[in-house]
């Protein structure tokens, strides 16, 4: 059976609702995205030929505020993935208790096959196609896999040209010069580091071996901050080409400098470094595993062979439902994505608030507020897990679901 991330989301949602004794009619709406838009995106390639790409924007829920979520450029993008990512955003925003709903966008394209000019054309065309759905009070995009600050700069500029005036609040994750926030680039990784710190405090861990699957923005920054601020050994890290492992800990300054030059880890060499596959990284000798790549990486088969005792999810949906059951049976704590990687959307919220007020914060203030929000959310999920005697993933879903169903009841159904 082909993996469907949205059905995966719905299964966990049903389990959380049953555990918290929430009636089906109180959350049924959350199984149905409010809007799903599919768009055709023709652009003229650099060789003069026309090519049409497929794009999506899904707004899952606006119960608690404007929809919020990234835009993914990846060759495997499909509507079920985008729906799941939008739904996870709804729950993520509810867990950290910020006034957003969930949205997500995607274009089916390998961005590495496009020139800078072609990427700009595609981003601007996509922005024009989804323009009726987005806006600072409607739906606020951000970067995701395959997109970056430059992508959001183009999106903001295209939207602003259509409106006739600058609208920096239409997107977050922008460059500082066009309304971005200090601290935004490191926000998701910093949030992962905060959760890792809180987990270590809870378990009395003074020293740990950490393996990170994924060396993109989230994975590389998580690894760097954990090594620098917590003093833990990063024993493994990987990218699309494979991974590297050193039982005594990798030199993250050296690895970081190598990655900054756009090198692939298959070409990295240093004393004591062993090359491994992405799958081998998931099962390597470590105490804490941080999956920071794509969804559905930890399957039931891999879950049975994991050596880590703690998993902190930096990617969206990296663990299958079947794997969750195996991990629970092995007493492996899983700190779920909708809690652990929420740092990005928290600082996106800060950026949006700064744009609306035309008042910008110092980076120290951004980081301090991010830490405050993540600590509070971590405590809320831990409290729910203890109250219901459930896994941390179910606790996170229950925490969010209670807030969402409460909002739905207060707002009511229109029309009656």
Q: What are the residue numbers of the active site?
A: 104
**What is the residue-wise DSSP string for 173-219?**
S--GGGT--TTSTTHHHHHHHHHHHHHHHHHT-SS-EEEEE--SHHH
Helix (H) or strand (E) holding 281: helix 278-282
Cα separation values, 308 from 24, 132, 184, 331, Å? 36, 46, 30, 11
Token pair, residue 263, equals 């090198």
> Can you tell me which residue has the tokens 């040209």?
161
| Residue 142 three-state SS | strand
SS3 labels along 50-109: EEEEEEEEEEEECCCCCEEEEEEEECCCCHHHHHHHHHHHHHHHHHCCCCCEEEEEEEEC
How far apart CA 229 and CA 293 sit, in angstroms, is 22
Judge whether 330 and 305 are in contact, CB under 8 Å.
no
Beta strand 50-61 with 101-108 is antiparallel
Token pair, residue 30, equals 């959350």
Beta strands in 124-180 (DSSP E): 139-143
Tally of residues, the chain: 416
């Amino acid at each position: 059976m082909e993996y469907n991330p949205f059905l995966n989301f719905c299964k966990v949602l049903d389990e959380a609702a049953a555990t918290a004794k929430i009636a089906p009619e109180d959350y049924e709406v959350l199984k149905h995205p409010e809007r799903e838009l599919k768009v055709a995106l023709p652009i003229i390639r650099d060789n003069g030929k026309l090519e049409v790409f497929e794009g999506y924007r899904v707004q899952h829920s606006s119960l608690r505020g404007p929809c919020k979520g990234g835009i993914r450029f990846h060759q495997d993008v499909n509507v079920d993935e985008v729906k799941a990512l939008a739904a996870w955003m709804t729950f993520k925003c509810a867990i950290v208790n910020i006034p957003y709903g969930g949205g997500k966008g995607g274009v089916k394209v390998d961005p590495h096959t496009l020139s800078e000019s072609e990427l700009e054309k595609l981003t601007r065309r996509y922005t024009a196609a989804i323009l009726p759905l987005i806006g600072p009070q409607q739906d606020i995009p951000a970067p995701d896999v395959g997109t970056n600050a430059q992508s959001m700069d183009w999106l903001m500029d295209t939207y602003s040209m259509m409106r006739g005036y600058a609208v920096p609040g239409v997107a977050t994750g922008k460059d500082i010069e066009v309304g971005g926030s200090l601290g935004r680039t490191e926000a998701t990784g910093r949030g992962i580091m905060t959760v890792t710190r809180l987990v270590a405090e809870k378990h009395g861990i003074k020293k740990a071996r950490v393996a990170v699957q994924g060396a993109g923005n989230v994975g590389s920054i998580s690894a760097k901050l954990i090594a620098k601020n917590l003093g833990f050994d990063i024993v493994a890290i990987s990218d699309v080409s494979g991974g590297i492992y050193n039982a005594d800990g990798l030199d993250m300054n050296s690895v970081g400098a190598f990655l900054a030059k756009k090198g692939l880890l298959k070409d990295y060499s240093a004393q004591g470094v062993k090359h491994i596959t992405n799958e081998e990284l998931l099962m390597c000798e470590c105490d804490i595993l941080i999956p920071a790549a794509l969804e559905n990486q930890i399957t039931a088969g891999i879950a049975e062979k994991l050596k880590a005792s703690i998993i902190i999810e930096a990617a969206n949906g990296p663990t299958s439902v079947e794997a969750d059951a195996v991990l629970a049976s092995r007493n492996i704590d899983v700190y779920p994505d909708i809690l652990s990687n929420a740092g990005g959307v928290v600082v996106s919220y800060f950026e949006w608030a700064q744009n609306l007020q035309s008042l910008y914060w110092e980076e120290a203030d951004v980081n301090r507020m991010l830490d405050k929000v993540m600590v509070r959310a971590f405590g809320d999920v831990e409290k729910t897990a203890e109250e219901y005697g459930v896994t941390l993933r179910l606790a996170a879903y229950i925490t969010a679901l209670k807030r969402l169903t409460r909002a739905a009841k207060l707002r009511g159904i229109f029309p009656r």
